[in-house]
């Protein structure tokens, strides 16, 4: 129990005597026999008090030397019991209304200090065990650095003794410090690309530290990506001829790894691959769920290739791209003469073409409701009738379905059959969106660069870090497909072999878009002087803050509270405005 906060029961002292104030003889006898043992007396009001054994005449001077104390219960938590010592040094401990002992304020202080030391030992050891490539920083309510791990020393080259206790803004530009943003706004950050200095690139997670619904600090965990950026630049120096030869060798000697086309090393991708390996040992029906553009068909092919022989067919059908009137014949095929305009020889359906392999039903949520009944029969009975046919055909293929829609909501809306959902959902694979695996953007970008540099005959020798800064900041609603299209655009525009930030689409570009000297503007009006405009705003804000400070007599804590901002935000404003 010594390694946790003790309870009142564990700290209770029982070497005490309880006597009644109304019985002078009992008090005198107690003092004679107690020695150094405290004597507690019960006063007429029902409270308890401590009577020192040095009292010469306990009856006559009782009101002068009696120290009133609080009463607490034995089963109360120690932290709750600490409130008893706000105005006195002693507390009587009761159990079921009967006094059983006492506590002193010093007992409480010693217990809390020891608990804090134990907690601090655990905390310090945990921080020291972290990977040196991960920096943990903690700033307090005033923006001062409270924790600076060895990883932070390694990444930022700032010794712990030089930064602890000092404002973080003394070492980093305020507009580049995510932890200060989190402290001011209370908004967390998850896998956000961050650039605390011009020569550093990190991936950051940040959260506010709250106590009793009040933000008292912010913690940030930063993973160094600078080395990856540097390696990426070095890789770009490889000639397009080498890339071409690599591609040719890969085509002549295809690898046996079914996961070779799934790029990325993030934990999310590793988990997906592990799921595929488990799925692939059986022919169970699989439902792949993921947003549009995440590469669901790529994962379906990996499942197929993990189990099926090289010559086994993989047949894909997009349920949203086929008119409802033709869907049944596409899926099941038809016999000759089945309907007007049909091929006289008949036609094999996708299920027949996938015999011995895999049928991939992409966008299964778009399948017509009447076809869902027939697909359910195929899944249950493994057989079907072609359109216009009378002979039963056997469905000998594995079925993998995929969707980017919420099938459970569609079930509630009546647009998707519940029984088909549960029949498809034997095994589920969730493909993570790109925004949850941004650390994979480097590898994906490298792969797409190689692909399109060959397609368009471009030798890419330069890829500025600012481009990656925007790629990592963007949220990627279109996922891998959108990233691939973006890289193709960059390669197309890079006629001189250099990929620049301004080649990015406008909704991704976060650089300075103001007109350059000599460029003018499109409005025909005189351009606004940004510096002069900001100076006027600052002067107005400075005047308002001086008036506000005078109103609260210089009390910055009160002013921050009245303005509805943190003290750190107020201090930063005062510092910026030289107040």
pLDDT per position as a tens digit, 240-296: 445 555 555 555 545 567 887 888 888 888 888 888 888 887 888 899 999 999 999
Helix (H) or strand (E) holding 183: helix 178-185
- DSSP strand pairing (286-289 vs 214-224): unpaired
Region 167-177 average pLDDT: 80
Let me know the angle formed at the C-alpha of 287 by 284 and 291, rounded to the nearest 5 degrees. Answer: 155
Q: How many helices (H) and strands (E) does the chain have?
A: 23, 22
Per DSSP, what are the bridge partners of residue 498? 462
- Cα 452 to the chain's mean position, in Å? 33
Q: Is the pLDDT of residue 333 over 80?
A: yes
Q: Are the folds of 8-112 and 533-576 the same?
A: no
3-class SS string, 129-152: HCCCCEEEEEEECCCEEEEECHHH
| CATH number corresponding to 130-224 | 3.30.450.20
Per-residue confidence (pLDDT) for residue 154, from 0 to 100: 78
- DSSP strand pairing (462-463 vs 498-499): parallel
Region 404-429 average pLDDT: 91
What's the alpha-carbon Rg for the chain, to the nearest Å?
37
Q: Is the pLDDT of residue 570 over 90?
A: no
Q: Which CATH architecture has domain 8-112?
A: Roll (3.10)
Domain extents in the chain: 8-112, 130-224, 232-255+436-512, 267-431, 533-576
Secondary-structure class of domain 267-431 per CATH: alpha beta
Calpha distance 369→376 (Å, rounded) = 11
Calpha distance 571→539 (Å, rounded) = 17
463, two tokens: 């890829």
| CATH number corresponding to 533-576 | 1.10.10.60
pLDDT tens-digit readout, 202-222: 778 889 998 888 889 999 888
pTM beyond cutoff 0.85: no
Q: Is the pLDDT of residue 37 over 50?
A: yes
With a pLDDT cut of 70, the percent of the chain lying above it is 78
Per-residue confidence (pLDDT) for residue 238, from 0 to 100: 53
CATH 3.30.30.10 fits 232-255+436-512, yes or no: no
With a pLDDT cut of 90, the percent of the chain lying above it is 12
Helical ranges in 318-464 per DSSP H: 324-332, 350-353, 369-381, 407-413, 418-424, 441-455
Three-state DSSP state, 343: coil
290, two tokens: 């993921």
Three-state DSSP state, 413: helix
Three-state DSSP state, 223: strand
Give just the sign of the alpha carbon dihedral 511, 514, 516, 522. Answer: positive
Of 82-91, 232-241, 496-505, 520-529, give the lowest mean pLDDT range: 520-529
Q: Residue 521 — very low, low, confident or very high, per pLDDT cuts 50/70/90?
A: very low
The whole-chain average pLDDT of the chain stands at: 78
* 314 contact partners, CB below 8 Å, separation of at least 6: 300, 301, 304, 305, 308, 354, 357, 358, 360
Calpha distance 350→353 (Å, rounded) = 5
Q: Is the pLDDT of residue 550 over 80?
A: yes
Q: What number of CA atoms fall less than 13 Å from residue 204's CA on the CB side?
A: 28
């Amino acid at each position: 129990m010594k390694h946790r906060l003790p309870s009142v029961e564990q700290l209770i002292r029982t070497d005490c005597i309880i006597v009644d104030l109304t019985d002078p003889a009992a008090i005198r006898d107690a003092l004679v026999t107690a020695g150094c043992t405290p004597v507690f007396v019960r006063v007429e009001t029902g409270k308890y008090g401590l009577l020192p054994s040095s009292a010469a005449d306990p009856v006559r001077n009782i009101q002068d030397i009696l120290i009133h104390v609080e009463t607490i219960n034995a089963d109360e938590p120690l932290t709750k019991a600490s409130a008893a010592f706000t105005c006195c040094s002693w507390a009587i401990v009761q159990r079921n209304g009967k006094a059983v002992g006492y506590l002193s304020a010093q007992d409480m202080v010693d217990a809390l200090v020891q608990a804090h030391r134990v907690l601090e030992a655990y905390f310090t050891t945990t921080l020291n065990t972290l990977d040196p490539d991960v920096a943990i920083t903690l700033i307090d309510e005033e923006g001062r650095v409270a924790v600076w791990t060895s990883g932070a020393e390694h990444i930022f080259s700032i010794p712990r003794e030089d930064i602890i206790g000092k404002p973080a803004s003394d070492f980093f530009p305020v507009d580049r410090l995510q932890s200060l943003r989190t402290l001011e706004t209370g908004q967390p950050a998850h896998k956000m690309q961050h650039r605390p200095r011009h020569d550093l690139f990190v991936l950051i997670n940040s959260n506010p530290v709250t106590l009793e619904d009040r933000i008292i600090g912010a913690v940030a965990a930063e993973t160094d990506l600078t080395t990856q950026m540097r390696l990426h630049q070095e890789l770009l120096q490889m000639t397009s001829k080498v890339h071409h030869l690599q591609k040719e060798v890969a085509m002549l000697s295809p690898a046996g790894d079914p996961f070779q086309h799934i790029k990325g090393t993030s934990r999310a991708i590793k988990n997906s691959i592990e799921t595929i390996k488990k799925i692939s040992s059986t022919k169970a029906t699989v439902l792949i769920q993921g947003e549009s553009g995440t590469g669901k068909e790529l994962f379906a092919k990996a499942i197929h290739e993990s189990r099926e022989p090289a010559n086994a067919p993989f047949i894909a059908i997009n349920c949203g791209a086929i008119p409802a009137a033709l869907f049944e014949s596409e899926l099941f095929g038809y016999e000759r003469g089945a309907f007007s305009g049909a091929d006289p020889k008949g036609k094999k359906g996708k299920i027949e073409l996938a015999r011995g392999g895999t049928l991939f039903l992409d966008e299964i949520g778009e399948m017509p409701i009447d076809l869902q009944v027939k697909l359910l029969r195929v899944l249950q009975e493994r057989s079907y009738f072609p359109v216009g046919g009378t002979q039963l055909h056997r469905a000998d293929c594995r079925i993998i379905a995929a969707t980017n829609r919420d099938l459970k909501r569609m079930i509630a809306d009546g647009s998707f059959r519940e029984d088909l959902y549960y029949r498809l959902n034997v095994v589920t694979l969730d493909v993570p969106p790109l925004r949850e695996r941004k650390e994979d953007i480097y590898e994906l970008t490298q792969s797409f660069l190689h692909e399109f540099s060959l397609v368009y005959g471009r030798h890419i020798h330069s890829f500025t870090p600012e481009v990656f800064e925007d790629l990592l900041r963007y949220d990627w609603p279109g996922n891998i497909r959108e990233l691939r299209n973006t890289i193709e655009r960059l390669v197309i525009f890079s006629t001189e072999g250099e990929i620049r930030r301004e080649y990015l689409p406008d909704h991704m570009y976060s650089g300075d878009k103001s007109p350059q000297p000599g460029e003018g503007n499109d409005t025909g009006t005189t351009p606004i002087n940004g510096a002069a405009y900001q100076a006027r705003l600052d002067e107005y804000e400075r005047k308002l803050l001086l008036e506000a400070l005078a109103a609260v007599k210089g009390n910055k804590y009160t002013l921050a509270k009245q303005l509805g901002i943190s003290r750190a935000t107020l201090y930063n404003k005062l510092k910026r405005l030289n107040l």
